[in-house]
Structure 1
């Protein structure tokens, strides 16, 4: 039996899906290049993957699932983080709650070594990236059932969430 897809995990969530991002950059994005060149158009309006993501979030939140994303990042912000801030209004409009925490304010939080998702406080999906921020090949999404990992990820997320700045109040430097 194969592992469930991300869509299956989110569509089967009953009450919560939380995501912690801790990198200052991820995979190359043409829309990021356009943004860095000065364009503030909605380059993701035609991006099928991004629009699909927004649909999944809308479906989940409409069924009562609370979808939360917290970002821990370095300051001054990388271009990627500033671009993520720019596009995050679409995520928020789809129902995703987003908060931002400068890394300097996270020194006393114990973190797992990778970004992750936790679904319904019981399923952890660990995300593995290359040094360039690309998905690390086959198995880049790893389901982890270890209760210790679940506790670490849940505690880290909640600690970040508690002190992070809500998206509507955060302004990149």
Structure 2
């Protein structure tokens, strides 16, 4: 199965699309969705991001993890970190409070392990792979259950998770404007 759906539907997968695990690899240096916000512009001016505990993302993450499901990510970080990577690092405590487990890995380590160029993706229950098509003006996710692609994503997940550092262990390594 391969299909394309609007990226905005990603929340649907977190409500109904997985039974056990949702795992993401974040490889981009910049995310336009972050950069367009007042909170991001304030962060660049040295104002700490607000934690919106009632946002749809956090509310759903709490609901899913309360059912025993896992939501995990590994974010690649450059040396030096980009402004957007530092912003995501600063907003991570809200994700952690909602039940997610987010870890960090330097891009150079991902390069050495051979997966820095695999691109952003979500992997649901080790069986459905959702890749973001950032070149598509409609920002669609390409979904597949192709065994070869899913196995590769599982291998990337296992290696990234093994080498990535927990937020509390990584945060001191990256200078912050705060």
Shorter-normalised TM range? 0.7 to 0.9
Q: Which residue of structure 1 aligns with residue 99 of structure 2?
A: 95
User: Is 1:118–2:123 an aligned residue pair?
Assistant: yes
Distance 1:148 1:41, change over 3 A: closer
User: Is 1:61–2:68 an aligned residue pair?
Assistant: no
Please state whether the residue corresponding to 1:92 is helix, strand or coil: helix
Contact 1:100 1:166 in 2 (8 A): yes
Alpha-carbon distance in 2 for matches of 1:160, 1:3: 26
Q: CA deviation at 1:90?
A: 0.1
Structure 1 segments of 4+ aligned residues over 4 angstroms from their partners: 1-4
Contact 1:22 1:114 in 2 (8 A): yes
Alpha-carbon distance in 1 for matches of 2:155, 2:114: 8
Gaps of 5+ in 1: 131-135
Distance 1:68 1:40, change over 3 A: same
Contact 1:114 1:128 in 2 (8 A): no
Per-residue CA distance 1:99-152 (angstroms, 9 max, x = gap):
00001112233336420001111111101224xxxxx33252111121111111
Larger mean Cα displacement after TM superposition, 4-13 or 116-125: 4-13
Provide the TM-score with structure 1 as the length reference. 0.86
Provide the TM-score with structure 2 as the length reference. 0.83
Give the one of 127, 136, 140 matched to 2:132. Answer: 127
Give the one of 11, 27, 34 matched to 1:7. Answer: 11
Size of the aligned set, in residue pairs, is 164
Per-residue CA distance 1:63-95 (angstroms, 9 max, x = gap):
111110101121110011111111110000000
Higher helix residue share:
2
Give the one of 30, 42, 50 matched to 2:38. Answer: 30
Alpha-carbon distance in 2 for matches of 1:169, 1:154: 24
